[in-house]
A and B are shown apart, each in its own frame.
Chain A
């Protein structure tokens, strides 16, 4: 099995949950703007804003811009991506931000609520960043960090408020202890900074897990805004340890955090663009692209240049590429495999950037659009795979025959031929001892002639079985003998560099041998040329004569067998032989560089 992906996602055409109703969106949008306006006005009456934070106008604008940006961007995200909880999370963060500004009011209850939630916004921002883009905290570590953040922000705030020091509106004051209050606020600042930095660490780690460049520039933008979290941590630590220009840092931080929802929105807008790319895909498919272009079309639509499209062959129980070659879809970090089904049967699989998982509707739309084209391409791949299998078995048959013949040739050489030579030598030594007996000498001479003829015949048999010279000494050396023995003058050009694979050399040798024999028998040529050239990815063997032409495959007895041999090696054999125009035999046999 090629696929070992743990849980391939099986796609069904699923429209996803319906979006929120428009009136609900409008209500929330108006509510967001309303509470922001309320908070804006209250800022000018707040002692905290005017004395501690300074410049009430700037603070009021920046803080409430945060509320409005998070609520509105959240509503847009919610309506566009109802299946993701991220939009709702943004809306919630916006309203929670507002609640924390209730500490600017002078009503005792609302002041107490607002002050209790005073440290909530930084943790909310952290939560939002870690939950992008699904709206969920995926790992236990993320949940722990965010949970600890909420707990620390609220519990330490409650401690501070219990020991007093917040003025007359604080309903939670139990006693008044400035030392404990100071201790609590410092702890709070340090703990929250630490958690924010831990959150940034998690973000960086998540990004580094994807080894390849990010698929979406929108996500990259979001990552940069993650620096806002670092700024908050820096701000808090500056307060604790007395860093410089706290006021300006606070403004810059608020501005940065307030712009982050725009980045989130751009990230989501990219996904919208992607879905419109499916329309482009439909147009391309309508033009009936070649199966080879299908992967590229899908890669464009899904904006994943590394996309792999593999077709499922049920008979082989494996995935193959368009050429019928086996494809390994085993898990790679940052890659996910999605199975494409049609009418309940597996057709193909896409291996793609794991980030695409966040857009299941895009995947579903693209694969649904490509359905018939994928099925066609699968049939194409299946045909290629079967052809490949056939070629492989033909090559194996020829290979087996070849090695058997090689074995026989070797046996002849090491056995009968050596023995006959030794026997002949023995007879001549015997002959020397017999000098004086002419009859015996004559008989021995006859016997030795017989042996010589047998050796000659055996040599021919052995040569016919297997061209040992080719395997031992290479094509160039062996072809020289063929050229020397040909019936017409032969120009021999061999440009192959080093040795070629043995099966290729043997095929080329037989091809030249048979073709030159045909030239001698039929062509009535005055000249022939043999050319063997090593090219980029194959070897060209060409035999040309200037004879009468008109050759066909049935006449040259061995030509059909040679074509088999060449094709078994994945090559092509072609013969041009117009009447009166000579004959050209040309084979191109693939050969890895």
Chain B
């Protein structure tokens, strides 16, 4: 797997680069501006671009714009956006119409190396990695007629992990249950919420997030 990193803090850039290198990821380029990132992606066509949302020169939305541009121009390149704040609105903007190969994580997540590397792999393989805070915020959102109350506590756990972008295998490992029972929970959740089941992991991420957001 080949990765490009755009991050203006030297400490973090080096840290992420080292963590990924240790995990066997080939870091083919690092840079500290959005402009350079786009050049690197164009020239190296990596599997994933890891982007700080706040990049020079104005430190406002340059990283976000670059991420959206990569999504539009290089659909095969996964994009993982890192930020000091995670916001529902930004997540939805980043996902737009598909959750394929998209990640949006709090920067803090880097320090859980195993989880972080797993998220990087998922995104580069075309899956998704949505920060747990986004998911829990959406889950706690008040609704008028709340079908979520009909879910069992276990089903809520599964829903949460599913919305983060994990595969059934990943959910099973995390909850220490069998893949078969995860599958059962998933189909029960889809039934209760009235969502069409099936499709890839990232498609069900989008379906769940859109449901929760409404």
Chain A residues near B (Cβ < 8 Å) = 410, 413-414, 417-419, 421-422, 424-429, 432, 448, 451-452, 455, 459, 462-463, 468-469, 471-473, 476-481, 483-490, 527
The answer on a CB contact under 8 Å between B111 and A477 is: no
Residues in B with CB closer than 8 Å to A488 are 142
Contact A418 B108, CB 8 Å, known A473-B90, A486-B142:
no
The answer on a CB contact under 8 Å between B141 and A425 is: no
Residues in B with CB closer than 8 Å to A432 are 113
Which of chain A's residues has its CB closest to B82's CB? A421
Q: Which 5 A-B pairs have the closest CB atoms?
A: A480-B89, A477-B89, A424-B111, A472-B60, A422-B11
Given contact pairs A485-B137, A486-B142, enumerate 7 new A-B contacts (beta carbons under 8 Å): A410-B59, A417-B107, A427-B111, A429-B18, A472-B53, A477-B89, A480-B87
Interface of B is mostly: helix
The answer on a CB contact under 8 Å between A480 and B9 is: no
Contact pattern, B 32-68, Cβ under 8 Å of A = 1, otherwise 0: 0000000000000000000001100001110010000
Residues in B with CB closer than 8 Å to A473 are 60-61, 64, 87, 89-90, 93
The listed residue (B59, B88, B113, B213) touching A429 by CB distance below 8 A is B113
- State in angstroms the CA–CA spacing of A484 and B9 once bound together: 31
Decide yes or no whether B179 CB sits under 8 A from chain A.
Answer: no
- B184: shortest Cβ distance to chain A, in Å? 30
- State in angstroms the CA–CA spacing of A151 and B11 once bound together: 97
The listed residue (B12, B87, B107) touching A478 by CB distance below 8 A is B87
Residues in A with CB closer than 8 Å to B84 are 413, 417, 459, 462
- State in angstroms the CA–CA spacing of A429 and B141 once bound together: 36
The answer on a CB contact under 8 Å between B12 and A422 is: yes
- B6: shortest Cβ distance to chain A, in Å? 15
- State in angstroms the CA–CA spacing of A421 and B112 once bound together: 11
- A427: shortest Cβ distance to chain B, in Å? 7
Size category, B interface: 35 or more
The answer on a CB contact under 8 Å between A448 and B111 is: yes
Decide yes or no whether B143 CB sits under 8 A from chain A.
Answer: yes
- State in angstroms the CA–CA spacing of A489 and B144 once bound together: 6
The listed residue (A421, A429, A451, A469) touching B19 by CB distance below 8 A is A429
- State in angstroms the CA–CA spacing of A507 and B183 once bound together: 47
The answer on a CB contact under 8 Å between A469 and B87 is: yes
The listed residue (B9, B19, B111, B112) touching A414 by CB distance below 8 A is B9
Chain B residues near A (Cβ < 8 Å) = 9, 11-12, 15-16, 18-19, 53-54, 59-61, 64, 84-85, 87-90, 92-93, 107-108, 110-113, 137-138, 140-144, 213
- State in angstroms the CA–CA spacing of A109 and B107 once bound together: 117
Which of chain A's residues has its CB closest to B14's CB? A422
The answer on a CB contact under 8 Å between A477 and B110 is: no
- State in angstroms the CA–CA spacing of A477 and B89 once bound together: 4
Which of chain A's residues has its CB closest to B63's CB? A472
Which of chain B's residues has its CB closest to A426's CB? B15
Which of chain A's residues has its CB closest to B212's CB? A484
Residues in A with CB closer than 8 Å to B143 are 489
Residues in A with CB closer than 8 Å to B54 are 413, 468, 472
- State in angstroms the CA–CA spacing of A471 and B60 once bound together: 7
- State in angstroms the CA–CA spacing of A426 and B140 once bound together: 33
- State in angstroms the CA–CA spacing of A486 and B137 once bound together: 10
The answer on a CB contact under 8 Å between A425 and B110 is: yes
- State in angstroms the CA–CA spacing of A401 and B123 once bound together: 41
The answer on a CB contact under 8 Å between B89 and A479 is: yes
Residues in B with CB closer than 8 Å to A428 are 111-113
The listed residue (B18, B61, B141, B144) touching A472 by CB distance below 8 A is B61
Residues in A with CB closer than 8 Å to B112 are 428
The answer on a CB contact under 8 Å between B87 and A425 is: no
The listed residue (B64, B107, B141, B144) touching A527 by CB distance below 8 A is B144
The answer on a CB contact under 8 Å between B142 and A419 is: no
Residues in B with CB closer than 8 Å to A478 are 87, 89
- A566: shortest Cβ distance to chain B, in Å? 23
The answer on a CB contact under 8 Å between A469 and B142 is: no
- State in angstroms the CA–CA spacing of A472 and B108 once bound together: 20
Contact A421 B90, CB 8 Å, known A413-B84, A429-B19, A488-B142:
no
Contact A421 B89, CB 8 Å, known A414-B9, A473-B61:
no
Residues in A with CB closer than 8 Å to B141 are 483-485, 489
- A100: shortest Cβ distance to chain B, in Å? 85
- B209: shortest Cβ distance to chain A, in Å? 11
> 26 A-B Cβ contacts within 8 A?
A414-B9, A418-B107, A421-B107, A424-B110, A425-B15, A425-B110, A425-B113, A429-B18, A459-B84, A469-B89, A472-B54, A472-B64, A477-B87, A477-B89, A477-B90, A477-B93, A478-B89, A480-B88, A480-B89, A480-B92, A481-B88, A483-B141, A484-B88, A488-B142, A489-B142, A489-B143
- A516: shortest Cβ distance to chain B, in Å? 11
Which of chain B's residues has its CB closest to A467's CB? B85
Which of chain B's residues has its CB closest to A526's CB? B144
- State in angstroms the CA–CA spacing of A419 and B89 once bound together: 27
- B12: shortest Cβ distance to chain A, in Å? 6
Residues in B with CB closer than 8 Å to A483 are 141
The CB with the most chain A CB atoms within 10 A, among B19, B84, B93, is that of B84
The answer on a CB contact under 8 Å between A419 and B11 is: yes
- A420: shortest Cβ distance to chain B, in Å? 8
- State in angstroms the CA–CA spacing of A451 and B12 once bound together: 15
- A144: shortest Cβ distance to chain B, in Å? 67
- State in angstroms the CA–CA spacing of A332 and B108 once bound together: 65
The answer on a CB contact under 8 Å between B15 and A422 is: yes
The listed residue (B9, B111, B140) touching A418 by CB distance below 8 A is B9
Contact A463 B85, CB 8 Å, known A471-B60, A473-B61:
yes
- B93: shortest Cβ distance to chain A, in Å? 6
Residues in A with CB closer than 8 Å to B85 are 459, 462-463, 468-469
Residues in A with CB closer than 8 Å to B87 are 469, 473, 477-478, 480-481
Residues in A with CB closer than 8 Å to B90 are 469, 473, 477
